[in-house]
Amino acid sequence: MSVSAGPSHGPFKPLRESIELVAGLGVAGDAHFGRTVQHRSRARAHPDWENLRQVHLLGVELHEELASCGMRVGAGQMGENILTAGIGLLELPVGTRLRLGATAIVELTGLRNPCTQLDGVHRGLMKAVLDRAPDGTLTRRAGVMAVVISGGAVAAGELVAVQHVPAGHEPLRPV
């Protein structure tokens, strides 16, 4: 696992040795830190909305898939705060809780809705993280969003574990 945070909006978040998760707020020092929505376009339209995008998690498996297509993307370059391995984030339902490090717990709220800023990382990246299901619906593969339930320090290399999957599988939708 790698961890990233940055005070600026945009896809590039500098790698850190550790990040501090704060319950109800997100990643200390990150552009998306706060109780209300911090995503720029959403904040302009609805500044009082609850921040369901406090932490962005992404599976390293996507980086590996992109590399096999000639798109080399490094940790933190897609705006993720936490890069996981072996979790299958996109298949988990809303409300799933993940333990990060010794004490931090996040709860999944939905899918990251990718934006054109990803094309600044690598040409064609936005299209590469969008797909179509057999029924024609758009599928998003740019990671998941979460809120912080229990805070704490999360260091690079620490384990991420699925702590709780709620009954009644409600699939993740864009937030």
- pLDDT tens digits along 128-161: 999 998 999 999 999 999 999 999 999 999 999 9
Q: Give CA–CA dist 113/75, Å, rounded.
A: 18
Is residue 123 a part of any domain in this protein? yes
Is residue 151 a part of any domain in this protein? yes
- Give the domain extent around 77: 2-164
Q: Which residue has the tokens 């992404």?
A: 58
- pLDDT tens digits along 99-131: 999 999 999 999 999 988 999 999 999 999 999
Spatial CB neighbours of 153, under 8 Å, sequence gap ≥ 6? 18, 19, 20, 21, 101, 102, 103, 104
Is residue 173 a part of any domain in this protein? no
Q: For residue 143, what is the domain's CATH number?
A: 2.40.33.20
Is residue 136 a part of any domain in this protein? yes
Residue 39: pLDDT band (50, 70, 90) is confident
Is residue 169 a part of any domain in this protein? no
- pLDDT tens digits along 2-23: 999 999 998 899 999 999 999 9
- Pure H helices in 69-172: 125-128
Q: What average pLDDT is seen over the chain?
A: 94
Residue 164: pLDDT band (50, 70, 90) is very high
Which residues on adjacent β-strands are paired with residue 20?
153
**At residue 124, what is the residue type?**
G
Tell me whether residue 109 is exposed, middle or buried, using C-beta atoms within 10 angstroms of its C-beta: 0 to 12, 13 to 18, 19 or more. Answer: buried
**Res 41 pLDDT > 80:** no
Q: For residue 147, what pLDDT is reported?
A: 98
**Res 169 pLDDT > 90:** no
Q: Give CA–CA dist 157/46, Å, rounded.
A: 36
Is residue 28 a part of any domain in this protein? yes
Is residue 174 a part of any domain in this protein? no
Model pTM? 0.95
**At residue 88, what is the residue type?**
G
Say how many domains are in the chain: 1
Is residue 65 a part of any domain in this protein? yes
Spatial CB neighbours of 134, under 8 Å, sequence gap ≥ 6? none
Q: Which residue has the tokens 């619906």?
A: 137
